[in-house]
Structure 1
Amino acid sequence: MCREEASDLSSLKAQLDECGVYLYAVVKENVGSEIQLFRPYFSGEIFLDQQRGFFGPLERWMGVSGILRGGVWMNGWRAYQSGYWGNVKGEGFVLGAVYVIGPQQQGILLEHREMEFGDKVQKSDVLQAVEQIKTQQLSLKFK
């Protein structure tokens, strides 16, 4: 279901570029050619964090019992109906998140943490957060 969300976020790339906002993904593992297979769904830069520093000291997990939740099945069905077939390699129990981070002291403008697998961010929420980013005009002085 990560591929579905990556594709949704990538559909905003032109609007993000217009606002000077970059699209990044941080992944925790690269089993086989996993990252290469993910690239067609994500139009931003992908970083591999094998030490899991970005994920923090308290990773958010959903155990095996998570697949028994109705919402997970509904999210999976939605992704499948949209043509996304997930990757089942790797450990796959860490929940993901989407952040919109402003420059300097603005910090985190949007934090969407998955509550269960496939709980994706609303594109309208991303665009609303991007609109809050205050860009600083730089004056160039030529000598």
Structure 2
Amino acid sequence: MSVTELDATIGSTLITRVTDNTDVTIRSLYSIQPIVLIFFRRFGCQLCRSYALKLSNELHPILKKNNVGFVGVGLEKFGLEEFQAGNFFSGDLYVDQGKKAYQILGLPYLGWIKGITDLFTQSSKAWMDETKKMGVQGNLRGDGFQLGATYIVGPKDGKVWLAHPQKDYGDHPSIDSIIQALRDNIREFRE
């Protein structure tokens, strides 16, 4: 599914803010500022944790300079406490119980056979090597076959500046591609 604007697809979808357990619409996240929006596979996933940590360390300071929100969404609460305790993600966290947004966006669900074979793709192996170098560990609790995505969403109308649904477990956009999408859409972007 090609998504060019979130407002029409998932803008009114409710997700739960982790800090106070309040339900908010996805639209409210980008209503006043652009956001980098990551749909994590699982909070316990090693690869998701290392991706979150890399973005937090290398990208989040740039986002702050440019008043760009940094938002992570998980599909369930399994592994959330460890995720928070490990300080893997420096942005705002939400949970999409029931995977409503994941389903509306058409994010792939792999199932057993594809889920196992995806462990052996080139990008999954490369990201696993990176994860090991970072010393990040995870757990196997929860739904391990749902893929996630990374979006950059413009303010007010929810226009998508970058859409990167995962093709396999290790498939993430580079930080350079995220910065380029922001640079292309923010007039006085600062690095």
What residue is the counterpart of 2:139 in the other structure? 87
Partner Cα separation in structure 1 for residue 50 and residue 156 of structure 2: 30
Cα offsets for 1:36-88 (capped at 9, x unmatched): 21120100011011121211243412323322434423321221122122332
**Structure 1, unaligned runs of 5 or more:** 136-143
What residue is the counterpart of 1:120 in the other structure? 172
What residue is the counterpart of 1:138 in the other structure? none
Aligned pairs for 1:1-143 (under 5 A) are 1-11=47-57, 12-31=59-78, 34-39=79-84, 40-57=87-104, 58-62=106-110, 63-105=115-157, 107-134=159-186
C-alpha contact (below 8 Å) 1:3/1:86 kept by paired residues: yes
Cα offsets for 1:119-143 (capped at 9, x unmatched): 22211111111223347xxxxxxxx
Which residue identity lines up with residue 170 of structure 2 in the other structure? G
Which residue identity lines up with residue 164 of structure 2 in the other structure? H
C-alpha contact (below 8 Å) 2:76/2:96 kept by paired residues: yes
Q: TM-score, normalised on structure 1?
A: 0.82
Secondary structure of the equivalent of 1:54? helix
Which residue identity lines up with residue 61 of structure 1 in the other structure? Y
C-alpha contact (below 8 Å) 1:103/1:133 kept by paired residues: no
Partner Cα separation in structure 1 for residue 126 and residue 175 of structure 2: 19
C-alpha contact (below 8 Å) 1:16/1:130 kept by paired residues: no
Secondary structure of the equivalent of 2:185? coil
**Structure 2, unaligned runs of 5 or more:** 1-46
Aligned residues: 133
Q: 1:53 to 1:106 in 2, by over 3 A?
A: closer
Give the % identical residues: 26
C-alpha contact (below 8 Å) 2:164/2:173 kept by paired residues: yes
- Structure number with greater Rg is 1
Q: TM-score, normalised on structure 2?
A: 0.63
Moved over 4 A (4+): none
Partner Cα separation in structure 2 for residue 72 and residue 59 of structure 1: 17
C-alpha contact (below 8 Å) 2:73/2:96 kept by paired residues: yes
Residue 113 of structure 1: how far off its partner (Å): 1.8
Q: 1:134 to 1:85 in 2, by over 3 A?
A: same
RMSD: 1.9
Partner Cα separation in structure 2 for residue 120 and residue 86 of structure 1: 18
